[in-house]
Every structure is written in C-alpha cells, then in structure tokens.
Amino acid sequence: MRTVFALLVGINDYSALGRASLQGCVNDAAAAEHWLDAKVTEPVVRTLLDTDATVRAVTDGIRGHLGQAGPQDTALLWFSGHGTEFDATAEQLKVESTGRCQALVCADGPLPNKELGALLDEVAARGAHVVAVLDCCFSGGATRDAEGSARLLPPDPSWVALATARDVTGPAAGPGHVLLAASRLNQPAFEDWFDGRSHGVFTHALLGALGEQGGPELSYRRLMAAVQCRVQGSGERQHPVLLPLEAGGPADRPFLGGAVRAPSPHLLRHGASGWEVDCGTVHGLRGGPDAGGTEFSVEPGPGSQDRHLLTAREVRVDRTLVEPSGWSPDPALSYPVTLSALALPPASVLVEALVLQPQLWGVASAFVVAAAGAGLAAPSPV
C-alpha cells in the first residue's frame, strides 16, 4: 500500500537571525496538512515550525522522516519561509552557471540548494517518488516586493563559508525529484492576505488549484498551468516553476505519484490577458493578420465525446490568446487541447497553357468547364 510521508516546514519567526519575520508561513504549513488529511489516506506527517525548523532539523527530517519512503511511496517536502542568494565562490562557479547560489533560510541559517537537491535525490534513489514544494524567494533555483511581502532575506557574510562547506553534487545518477517552486531562480516570491489570513501567494494558488481541479489525480503539468494563472491573477510578479519538464517524465505523473500519463500536446488556461493556449510562434504557429485561421480542440473528458473549439485571436511568441467557440470554460481549471486547424498563407494556383492536337480539343473544353466550376483560371488553347 502506497504511503505519503510529508515534512511540512513553516517559518515566520526569524528573530534568531535578527532578521525580518513573516506572517503566512505557519499558515501555509497548516493549510497543507489540512489538505493532506482530507485528500490522502493516512499520511505520515511531520511538522517543523518557527524556531524548531533549524538546518539540522530540516536535514534530519529529510533523511530520517522522508527517508522512510520506499518503492511505491511518496516523500513530500513543503517549505514556506525566506529564501536567499549570494555570490558563488570560485569552486561553486563550476556548478552555478548564474554566478549566484540560492538557499532556503531555516530558523538558524541557510540550507543551500545543492545540498537540498542531494538530500532529496538520496530519498528518490531508494525508489520513492519525491516532490518538493518550495514557497520562498529564488525557489526555482532548487529551492517573497510588490503589493505583498517578499519572502527574501539578504545574505549574511558568514553564510558564504558555510555554504561552500555544504555544497555537494549529490548522487551521480538516480530518478531525481519533482520541484514545484514559487518563483524563478532570480525572482522574489510573495505572501499576501486571503480571506483574512496571510498565506504565500504560491501556496494559496496551489492548494486552490488542487481543491478545484481534482486533487491527487491531476498531473503536475496541468496543476502548474492552473497555478500559473492563479498567481498571475493575484497581480504578483512571480512565475511558478515546474522541473523537470520533459514530456512523458515526472511532470506527467499525478500529483504525489502514480503512473506517467500521456502528456497533452498543449493546455488551455485563463491568464491575465484572458484565455490562452501555451503554444505560439516559437512552436511554429503563424502570427499577425493570418493567425485567425488557427483553431484548437479541447480533448473530451471521461464519458464525453464533445470536442469544444477555440479560435485564435492573437498569436504571441510563447502562447496564443483564444476565444472559446460556443462554450464557457471554467476560469479556475486548465484543459488539455490539440491543434485542430492551422492558419496558412493565401495560395494561388497556376495552370500552364498547352498546345493541343485537334483530336484533344474535346478534352480541353471539358477541362475549361471543370476549371470554371472550381474557380480556377483555365488555360487558353493555342
């Protein structure tokens, strides 16, 4: 029987570091635990909050608690707190192409992304399905300033040497883990108020999508498409990240594990500019005034044969803005779609004149009549 082992970390209190505290991280951990209790059969949950969430406690929690997960089990790390980044040392530059190191900030200091990744991959190497949900700044590196509060801490100079000693590359090979991150590796992530409670924007979007889109049966790819739209709708300038993205890989497994499903070619979602499909000129579609002929077809759901249509109104580089044709999709959901009609440039047909023998004039006359009926320019006999 498959078991879900979860390590939930929420840190509001950073007073031990003399740094700014947060308000929504403990709420995030509590909301995640509530969802697990409601949707997962007998999850094995361990929670680390505030000052209990030290670097050693988080490390031991991954190795000891999540490390219990074996083949067919799932190990879930959910971290809500500050993130940080700092300049890479000369040695770290060998594996940090951006020149910066990212880290989770535990109650007493940083847990660098390279060590975190290695710890998670150790658990995955035993056969468990491992997923990390990281709601902190720079989390797309493996690890929140706008209208909400940023979950970001400037680095302390003493952290650099600590990170150097802990920088490891992890197992040489293995199945790896799935990362659901609040933002790209160079972006802050935010927390804000929702229904009178502070939460991370990413956590709120993720749990909302899980609640409305089918829970654990939803693939990571479809889930994160819905999360992206929810985050855009919040007005925050952060872009959630899913890794790895390869088709037919972990991104196409159901949330918290299961068999890989055939990936949908593209997804329909409701973004800041309206309904959009994640397919644009970079995928070979024509832009400009000729885009109107492009159509997408929504794949029918279980027990249905209906294929709803979407017509393109604007093709952009990475996505196409579309209009539903004769139906009203739910803005809270994402839908698998396929390209069903492709806009092509106008074409002309040229028929060369032929010199015909007298005995072929009857054939030529028949061709003229047929061509006229088809709207083609018929040749003039010479």
Helices and strands (DSSP H and E) totals, the chain: 7, 18
| Tokens, residue 86 | 């700092």
The CA-based angle 137-55-12, given to 5 degrees, is 50
Query: How high is the pLDDT of residue 351?
Result: 67
On average, the pLDDT of the chain sits at 79
Q: What pLDDT, in 10s, does the model give residues 184-232?
A: 877 889 999 999 999 999 999 999 989 866 555 678 988 888 898 888 7
Confidence of residue 371 (pLDDT cuts 50, 70, 90): very low
Choice between 310 and 371, residue whose per-residue pLDDT is larger: 310
Q: What pLDDT, in 10s, does the model give residues 325-360?
A: 888 888 877 788 888 887 666 556 666 665 555 555
Task: Provide the whole-model pTM.
Answer: 0.71
Strands of 241-243's sheet, edge to edge?
44-49, 4-10, 74-80, 129-135, 178-181, 241-243
Q: Computed from CA positions of residues 233, 83, 16, 147, in that sequence, does the dihedral angle turn out positive or negative?
A: negative
Q: In this model, does residue 60 exceed pLDDT 60?
A: yes
Q: What pLDDT, in 10s, does the model give residues 252-306?
A: 888 998 877 776 678 888 887 889 988 888 777 877 766 667 888 887 765 455 7
| Tokens, residue 199 | 């939460």
Distance CA 348, CA 380 (A): 18
Closest CA to 242 of 211, 209, 275: 209
